[in-house]
Amino acid sequence: MTHQGNSAASRDIAFHLHPYTNLKAHETVGPLVITSGKGVTVTDETGKDYIEGVAGLWCTSLGFDEPRLVDAAIGQMRRLPFYHAFAHKSHEPAIDLAERLIALAPVPMSKVFFACSGSEANDTAVKLIWYYNNALGRPRKKKIIARAKAYHGVTVAAASLTGLPNCHRDFDLPLAGILHTDCPHHYRHAEPGESEEAFATRLAANLEALILREGPETVAAFFAEPVMGAGGVILPPATYFEKVQAILRKYDVLLVADEVICGYGRTGNMWGSQTFGMKPDILTSAKALTSAYLPLSAVLVSDAIYQACVDESARIGTFGHGYTYSGHPVSCAVALETLKIYEERDIVGRVRALAPRLQEGLRAFRDHPLVGEVRGTGLIAGVELVADRATKRPFDAALGVGTRLVSFSHQHGAILRPIGDTIGFSPPLIITETEIDTLLFRFEKSLADTADWLVREGVRLD
Q: Is the pLDDT confidence value at 156 over 70?
A: yes
Instruction: Dump strand ranges (E) for 248-386.
Output: 254-258, 282-285, 297-301, 371-377, 380-385
> pLDDT, tens digit, for every residue of 422-458?
999 999 999 999 999 999 999 999 999 999 999 999 9
68-344 CATH fold: Aspartate Aminotransferase; domain 2 (3.40.640)
- Compute the distance between CA of residue 18 and CA of residue 26 in angstroms, rounded to an integer: 9
C-alpha angle 389-228-436 in degrees, rounded to nearest 5: 70
pTM score, whole prediction: 0.96
| Average pLDDT estimate for 215-221 | 98
Tell me what pLDDT residue 461 has.
76
Residue 260 pLDDT level (bands cut at 50, 70, 90): very high
Helix (H, G, I), strand (E, B) or coil at 36: strand
Spatial neighbors of 354 by CB under 8 A, at least 6 apart, are 379, 431, 432, 433, 436
> pLDDT, tens digit, for every residue of 198-214?
999 999 999 999 999 99
Tell me the CATH number for domain 32-65+346-456. Answer: 3.90.1150.10
> pLDDT, tens digit, for every residue of 75-95?
999 999 999 999 999 999 999
Please report, for the chain, the start and end positions of each structural domain, with discontinuous segments joined by +.
32-65+346-456, 68-344
